[in-house]
Amino acid sequence: GDSVTQMEGPVTLSEEAFLTINCTYTATGYPSLFWYVQYPGEGLQLLLKATKADDKGSNKGFEATYRKETTSFHLEKGSVQVSDSAVYFCALSLSGNTPLVFGKGTRLSVIA
């Protein structure tokens, strides 16, 4: 079945470090891909998305590129801040009629 695999956390980085959180997917068709972020005590919020191959989603300094050849959608940020500490979820959707399939989430802690 369709699935999303994320790197396991927790990931601990110093402020201003470079961030990569790996995400790969398995899908029978051509999914849309998403990154959601969950700050402590809150619900999930959409961070960015890409709907077709080679699209780049970006928001708040985060970027991810839809790579069909490697079935990946890795999340990157050039310089993390303490306020980026959260849990990050990669997800896919095959069509408007199917629910999102989420990865298990990766916890990021950024220390000053």
Partner 1 sequence: DAGVIQSPRHEVTEMGQEVTLRCKPISGHDYLFWYRQTMMRGLELLIYFNNNVPIDDSGMPEDRFSAKMPNASFSTLKIQPSEPRDSAVYFCASRTSSGNTIYFGEGSWLTVV
Binding interface with partner 1 (CB under 8 A): 32, 34, 36, 42-46, 49, 51, 89, 93, 95-97, 99-100, 102, 104-105
Q: Concatenate the DSSP letters of all residues of 48-68 into one string.
A: EEE-STT-EEEETTEEEE-BT
The distance of closest approach from Cβ of residue 78 to partner 1 in the complex, given in angstroms and rounded to an integer, is 25
The DSSP result for 12-57, as a single string, is EEETT--EEE-EEEE-SS--EEEEEEE-TTS-EEEEEEE-STT-EE
Smallest gap from Cβ 70 to partner 1, in A, equals 22
Please say which residue, 51 or 83, places its beta carbon nearer to partner 1: 51
Smallest distance from the beta carbon of 8 to partner 1, in angstroms? Answer: 11
Residue 70 or 96: the one with the smaller Cβ distance to partner 1 is 96
Nearest CB to partner 1, comparing residues 38 and 65:
38
Residue 39 C-beta: closest distance to partner 1, Å: 10
Within 13 Å of residue 103, how many CA atoms lie on the same side as its CB?
Answer: 29
Report the DSSP beta bridge partners of residue 75.
21, 64
